[in-house]
Structure 1
């Protein structure tokens, strides 16, 4: 061994667990029939629950917000809850829910567990746990009493969290798959998460806009759209004095027009006026992450 040479030892850190590569997933619920509903519950529905059908035959209750913004918890009666509106360490919000399947009553998970390498856990994502073609039967609530078993009383931090969560609820009604009316202060909106590919949906919206058929009736206007987890969410401003159910028929009629416009794109490309309308719609877009 030459002068100054050192005997090589084991490389530092070779006995450690492999580091998990956190890759951003722009469409985390892709492939699930419930994708629009999952995005709605994640982004703007205040208080709602839905049963998730698992491939193993069991189920988990999905909740918009859990006590103290927990990622998951098991209620004292054994009911398992998974929260969507949480601060996640992962760039893929569908990651790692297997913890919940093995948890015991009273267990609480503050943030999603993203420490398990995906290749080592076949249940690393929602897509691996859920029945892909299962629809989501969403139940909206006017408060967060569903956090507790029947006849149970909130105490301590849970009571404080419950009070704050109840105070933040905005009146919300579901008008169909992925479509939600919300009364936000002095304004009312329809937010409609659509499953179509963004470019096609924009073309169809532009076709309706150019024909003057993009509204939901007198006193309404198309406000713009935002992207959320890979899908486009068109938004309409509505008359806040009208009840949500008064917009159900107009929303369905708009849906029929939109479906027809989407179908027409197969044989009729956009004309000049429709292309200008599309450019205007693109100028009113935001992206949520």
Structure 2
């Protein structure tokens, strides 16, 4: 290599005016090099983040609230304490990204239109907005990311704090007590209430992010699991080969879907039974899964056939 070539290559890796090496990871958290993201001409390059909530203890609950829980709220624990508390919500009036009610209560919406390939980054920006917004302000959508607000949800929340959602029968919590909705809010409230399917979060040991939903002719259990997909599928295959992948009589494994990097197994349930009647069976299934996850031996022929069957009943949401 000539001395001139070496000098040119060294020049290309010189730190920017902000002190960032172009070849280092971009501080926005996208996972790309700075020169291919916020350091490129014209602004940041959008990157699809397949697992936006990775690293958060609340990851399974966040996926459930984002994808299929109709009406729920949960207080957020911020990494840096603030005078204003923030509540995460599944859906807000007019599908807003965030709002501060006239009484000062602050909400951030989870089921919203995304403006980048990283839902975690969009939510972090909505939280920062709501911390300084005035009572009565609303953020319809998170604006296009121009790189001025680096950071993700993992930076603004305490990563080891679980999320404890409260499910609601309707969206009356949108408004302060004794307040009557009017105009667009009233219409939005009416439409949102009409779309709700009765849902409940299962209670019991090890039943995090396990949700029952009444779809009319049958009920379902949707359980967001935190394990890597292949590890979970093998454990489920071990149970399926022994006909133990169920919650008891009246239940049947239906399939699974992928959402935001995690697998969500689904069971069909007898809708005549109350949600609380399924909790013992779900706890027993969870214990069997934990035991199967701890096994590291090779799958048997029957288990491999079961694994092929499980893979054939998978879909990907995003």
TM norm structure 2 = 0.82
Which 4+ residue blocks in structure 1 deviate beyond 4 angstroms?
A: none
Which residue does 1:275 correspond to in 2? 304
Which residue does 2:13 correspond to in 1? none
Which residue does 2:135 correspond to in 1? 105
| CA–CA separation in structure 2 for the residues paired with 1:103 and 1:115 | 19
After superposition, residues 96-175 of structure 1 pair within 5 angstroms as 96-97=125-126, 98-117=128-147, 120-122=148-150, 124-175=151-202
Give the gaps of 5 or more residues in structure 1: 1-16
1:260 positional shift = 0.1
Residues 159-218 of structure 1: CA distance to partner in whole angstroms, max 9, x if unpaired?
110011111110001013110000012120000000000000000000000011001111
Residue 41 of structure 1, aligned match among 45, 52, 65: 65
1:115 positional shift = 2.1
| CA–CA separation in structure 2 for the residues paired with 1:90 and 1:100 | 19
Which residue does 1:5 correspond to in 2? none
1:235 positional shift = 0.3
C-alpha contact 1:174 1:181 (8 A) present in aligned 2: yes
Which residue does 2:92 correspond to in 1? 66
Residue 226 of structure 1, aligned match among 246, 257, 269: 257
CA RMSD of aligned residues (A): 1.2
Structure number with the higher strand fraction is 1
1:18 positional shift = 4.2
| CA–CA separation in structure 1 for the residues paired with 2:118 and 2:130 | 17
C-alpha contact 2:116 2:145 (8 A) present in aligned 1: no
Q: How many residues align?
A: 268
C-alpha contact 1:99 1:113 (8 A) present in aligned 2: no
- SS for the counterpart of 1:209 is helix
Give the gaps of 5 or more residues in structure 2: 1-40
